[in-house]
Amino acid sequence: MSYVKTETKGFVGTITLNYGKKLNALSSELIDDIIGAIKDMERLKMRCVILRAEPGIKVFSAGHDIKELPRGKRDPLSYKDPLRRVIRAIQKCPAPVIAMIEGTVWGGAFETIMSCDMVFADKRSTFAMTPVNLGVAYDIVGVHNLVRGDCSAHIIKELFFTARPISAERAERAGIVNRVYDIEDLEAAVMDVAEVICTKAPLSVALIKEELRVLSEASPLTPGEFQRLQGIRRTVYDSHDAKEGIDAFFEKRKPVFTGE
Ligand code: LCV
């Protein structure tokens, strides 16, 4: 795999994002490698998986590769899109997946770590949720992945509606991050949690992980409501703003959103 590195220590498998020159932007190639690495960890019967980036990285991941976003007239986040596939792979991996964060986390990468089972972070790291910067018609599965945990709805709305990063300390208080550490203590602390999990009955751990996933998916959303939201999403991804947001990013200028 070109875009991730993997290693195992006992029953702990570590997947390291290794595309720093592209800010670990979640391109379809990088995502295919992450999914392949997760499948390898399952095959090797790892009992805990750590998802991290290279030590010392400034940007954990710049989120979805914006170059791969459609410029309107097409749903940017549907079932088979890379971001949806990698998040399902994390959620359905029998072993708990722990996100170990250094640097800044953006957009789809934030949803990805929120879909991990635990998050531990360097106290200098930050977290941002960015669809409104780009006019992206975020999908209901993605929104659900951010609210299904018990983190503060007000903080999630602040993240979504301002797209401003929040500190690791605020993320910890909001229940987004399990615990923050000084960088020199982070790796040992995460490995300690992973090794404790590896001493537990893996079948019981996997069952409870799957029960928690299924329960968190239980939602009173009716087909009619889903279709209504999909209709609104089409208006968003067909809008002037959906194209303007992406154009502005690559033209390195502030977007001018018209609400049309
Ligand atoms: C492609 C990039 C990216 C990138 N893709 O370096 O959640 S949603 O709905 O928004 C979802 C669709 C999503 O996840 O969208 C992506 C959300 N991500 C962001 O909003 C982060 C965008 N990037 C940045 O704000 C900055 O790049 C950070 C702060 C991450 C790093 O800033 P820094 O000054 O170190 P540059 O901005 O100069 O970026 C270096 C190169 O990487 C490209 C960017 O266009 C630039 O390319 P050029 O060197 O060709 O100019 N780049 C950055 N992020 N997500 N390409």
CATH number at residue 84: 3.90.226.10
Q: Residues lining ligand 1, judged by CB closer than 6 Å?
A: 23, 25, 59, 62-67, 69, 104, 106-108, 130-131, 133-134, 136, 138
Domain coverage including residue 66: 4-184
Asked, for residue 254, whether it belongs to a domain, the answer is: no
CB 17 within 8 A of CB 3: yes
Query: How does pLDDT run across 76-107, given as a tens digit for each residue?
Result: 999 999 999 999 999 999 999 999 999 999 99
What ranges make up the beta strands (E) of the chain? 4-9, 12-17, 48-53, 59-61, 97-101, 104-106, 118-122, 126-128, 166-167, 179-181
Report the predicted TM-score, pTM, of the whole model to 2 decimal places. 0.96
Closest atom of ligand 1 to 136 CA is: 9
Q: What is the mean pLDDT of each run of 10 residues along the chain (260 residues)?
A: 96 98 97 98 98 98 96 90 97 98 98 97 98 96 89 93 98 96 98 98 97 89 92 94 95 96
Asked, for residue 197, whether it belongs to a domain, the answer is: no
CB 179 within 8 A of CB 120: yes
Asked, for residue 223, whether it belongs to a domain, the answer is: no
- DSSP-derived secondary structure for 30-67: HHHHHHHHHHHHHHTT-SEEEEEE-TT-SEEE--B-GG
Asked, for residue 63, whether it belongs to a domain, the answer is: yes
Q: Is 144 a known active-site residue?
A: no
Ligand 1 pocket mutation, candidates 29, 59, 66, criterion most atoms within 8 A of CB = 66
Nearest to 197 by CA among 94, 52, 96, 50: 96
Asked, for residue 202, whether it belongs to a domain, the answer is: no
- pLDDT value of residue 72: 77
- pLDDT value of residue 201: 97
Closest atom of ligand 1 to 130 CA is: 10
- pLDDT value of residue 54: 97
- In the chain, the number of structural domains is 1
Closest atom of ligand 1 to 106 CA is: 18
